[in-house]
Structure 1
Amino acid sequence: MVGEVLGKRYKILSKLGSGGMAEVYKAHCQILNRTVAIKVLRPQFASNEEFVERFRREAQAAAGLSHPNIVSIYDVGKDEERYYIVMEYVSGTSLKEAISRSGHLSPQRAARITWQILAALQHAHENGIVHRDIKPHNVMVTSAERVKVTDFGIARALCASTLTDTGTIIGTVNYFSPEQARGEAVEAQSDIYSSGVVLYEMLTGTVPFKGESPISIALQHLETSVTPPTELNAAIPKGLERIVLRALEKNPSRRYQDARHMMRALEPYAFPGNDYDTVNDDIHVASDTTLTDLTAPVLSSPSDPGADMEETQVRRKPKNNNPRRTVFVTLFLVLALLTVAAGVMFMLPQWLYVEEVRVPDFTGKTLEEAESLAAKAHVRLDSPDKRYDETIPAHRVISQRPAAYERVKMNSKVTLVVSLGKEIVEMPDLLGMDLREALLELERLELEPGPQSRDYSDEVEVDKVASQSPAAGVQVEKGTMVEVVLSDGPEPLLVTVQDFRGMNMAEAESLLTVSGLVKGRVTEEGREGAEPGIIISQQPEPGQLVTLGSAVDFVVGKGLDASSLLDAITPISSLVTIVVPPGTDLQEVKIRINDYYGERDYYVGMHTPGERIEKQINAWGRKMRIRVYIGGVLYRDESIPKG
């Protein structure tokens, strides 16, 4: 089976061992990503009602128990014709292997292991479960000496009515209680007896009774007295021997009445100096009732050799060699083993069936919404995984395992991946970088370049980043748009342009020097009324703000010749037709002309898109220039010669 996948989720890694009715494998749960142990019923027993019944009850009984000394049951299922149980994987060895390696264990170690077995049994008994098959094979011991009891395959709920009066014998014969050997209904004291057998074996290296057949061993449990452990191992304290012998009493009423009593009796040997609180601080007995509240007799201290003399005596009974009794018991045992076979076949599907449900689609939901959906669908949400996502908003589900609408067993766990939103990065410091460096840094951090502008800066040289938004050090999402402002250097000083018109050039140059401006181009133009050498116009115009050191261009008058005089009195005209283009509801339309008398606005008005405008332009000179602006943008530019 190694390499196979059971139930579409458990990949078999290796074989751990096998028992009489099942094989145990180490596996990996591909949904919850954890190592588990899987017990698979042997194929030859899959059609055997008795074995399947035992197998089903292991999961049913143990799944309701939660204790640090009990192996947890996670799942039960059927894959084709294979029945399996998924349980906690325990890294360690079985108690049987530990005994086989050592021959026998030290009294203190044996007492500590038994104490933990009893802690598990006390929890099970208080939940109405009798194990019925306590033996070293069903006890795992970790490297930290933590005990884990497993294999509740023949456990029976004390309150259940099935298999109580049928006389069926269930268990392993070497560790039987006498009442099990008789096929009677068993109680918690049966597990006490089996625990006593396990403790006996740990202390001596052998079980109390051996024989050539299971029947002969069962009869010894019924009739033969136990050989005192100290006869096999003199190092065993007498007080500890008394505990073993009391647990192995034939009459259940003479044994410890519950596991807690036996635990209290073992504590001086398991935890000398009363150190069990620190050694086993995470192992608890379910009830807070003290020993003095209970009715069973209190054992004396192991240091008092004279105490409980009546309890220390080994009660030996003569062997009953009555042939008729032996035949009767033998027939009773055989018949009891066969009585249950016919009753379970038609109930098997119901016992092994675990209802399946469909997994909801959690994607896009908040955790609160997902929890509500999970409750309605009868699935459980595991602790969510979280990661950044570029598209899914924070706190919403990105994906899930198992997938939406997949069929799973009721109360299965579903793992969600929840968005943390876009990944957060720290804004870099772009100040002083040139534009190329800044863009590369933004690209590296997956930030988006935003609008770029320019401004003056006294500290940052020209064409370097003078400021940024968001500011450096701020936590932002990836993909955030970043605006940068490039430096134009220090802000220049501005001066107001004086009115130079009417001055001669000498006067103008003197005033330019005082104003911090320089002379630009000087052109002459003949105009009516203009005096030669006197400034007619200037650019920039008077009153404008310009940077210190800017040039000013001048036009000066010159004497009019006959041609110029003719231009001054010669009219020129043109019809201008305009259709206002699409745009805003109202757009400014401006017609500006330049003729013999200079440049000026001829028409300014507001018009709607699609409106047709016709204007007759009348000017002076042999030519004129007409420029049309719509919404402040040059729309037409033409020169008209004299026609």
Structure 2
Amino acid sequence: MGKILGSRYEIMEQIGAGGMAVVYRAKDLLLNRIVTVKVLRDQFAADEEFSARFRREAEAAAGLSHPNIVSIYDVGREGATQYIVLEYVEGHNLKEIIREQAPLPPERSLHIVRQIAQAIGHVHAHHIIHRDIKPHNILISDDDWARVTDFGIAQTDTAVTLTHTGGIVGSVHYLSPEQARGESSSEQSDLYSLGIILYELVTGKLPYDGETPIAVALKHLREHPLSPRQLNPRVSPSLEAIIMRAIAKDPNQRYPSAQAFLEDLDEIEEEQLRAKSTNLGSGLGNSDIEKTQVHQGPAAGILPKGGGGYPSAASAAEAAAARVDHAHNALAARVRNAILKHRFWVGLGAAAAILLAVLLFLSNYAKAEEVMVPAITGKTVAQATAILAQSHLSLAREINQENSDKVAKDLIIQQEPAQKTMLKTGGDVRIWVSKGPTNLTMPDVKDQDPPLSKDAALAMIKEVGFINNPIFTYVPSPLIPSGAVIDQSPAPDIPWPANGNIRITLSSGLPTLSMPNVIGTSSEEAESALTGAPYNLAVVIAIKDSSTYPRGVVIGTDPNPGDSVEQGTTATVIVSGGPGPQLPDNTALNAHGHKKSPKPH
């Protein structure tokens, strides 16, 4: 711990690990905020296929912006270490919640799954298939706000994952049948995985389990799961129908889109409201009216017969319409029986009572208490929901999103009606949520040939529309000319806020070293020392007469010993040309200080 990546992200502690990456909590020293850093494991960093996928899919996910998706801030490499920087979410993953609390109440399960479905719909709209939707990849905050993470980065732990040639296909307990067969993933594959999650939330059990990944995968292909209602009677027939359609083995029998899935979840809510309305009306009348009425369940038009396939979205819509007609017909029959079995005046009195109740309801609605709308701008959606609830108000179902250079991501920019406006209790407040600053595409200033100068890089960055001047740092380089660009952060083609900080690394030129002292050595020894590492100098030999040094001995250098010299430049070595020092008998010394042998006659 304490390691700093990219001169910016200080690793604080490990918070998770998977087969492909290790996850850390870290501090962004530049923006002074806590982030999540996911580091590719060393054994995959050297694999070009894994490295390319790690970067390519992270960059694709970085283009997504949604309240229920964990944001990606940066992608980087330091030496052999590759990493992704993500938004830090305080809370637990959904798998931990399932282990501790499942089965969850259907209402809470639907609340969580609705958010995941909205995120998946946003992902699919950007032509991305997650391929690994599972509770481990869903982060839940303390206020039950769900966020999807790990886009396209499947875990490779053999206890939970299958792989095939060409890529990782997903975690086996949440794996679609087509993925188990090695076929390509589709939007319906992600919705299948979401259906498995919903099954697990409401029952506390996985629909398919086994001793080995292969055994589980085969069950996805061949077996049918237990009915959720067999495991939890609180699951309604309609909710069971939604689950079973989502996990149909044939992709064509599943929901065609996340939006269609969400529409059926809406139908359940409307069904609950109709049930409450019917219960209010059933308190009037005689013994026949008060008898328990047994009706065909609302799921009758959705659930399969005889173990066959699950109907299409059109069939589900017809079933929904049939349920409404059935409810109307049932109510009409009950009123008709009451009139036939009771005297005219009793029936007339009941009708008058019904009419009076309706009039009273309309009158009370017209006189509904008005409350002052509280201020929720600058708050998160979860905070705004709690604040409005205190005033008996709620958020409108549709949440608008737009970019803002002034309001931080995920905070409310605008509300309608405005604060201090009077609104009837039970009313809805529309909101606009910030998607953060406008994102621009980071230009490539580091891979140009020839390398860009500081001014050229600055001009290219400004031309794209970035607001702040980059932060420039200098490092020596034996390859890149002085003043030219060596590196950049963020990397090229990364979506980056227009007001975000950009770091550019420039070359300060060749490394500067201290000239070694080779005086007194032979010319060969001096040349070997200076041309080798770390100096890599080009040596020029100059001969100069000397009566002090023997012939062939170095008597000086340019630069002088101890002076600065740039790596890879030229140095002059001055070598004695003799005659050198003389002995008393006028015999000269050689380069090693020994008496020269007399020449033969």
Query: TM-score when scaled to structure 1?
Result: 0.45
Query: TM-score when scaled to structure 2?
Result: 0.48
Bigger fraction of residues in helix: 2
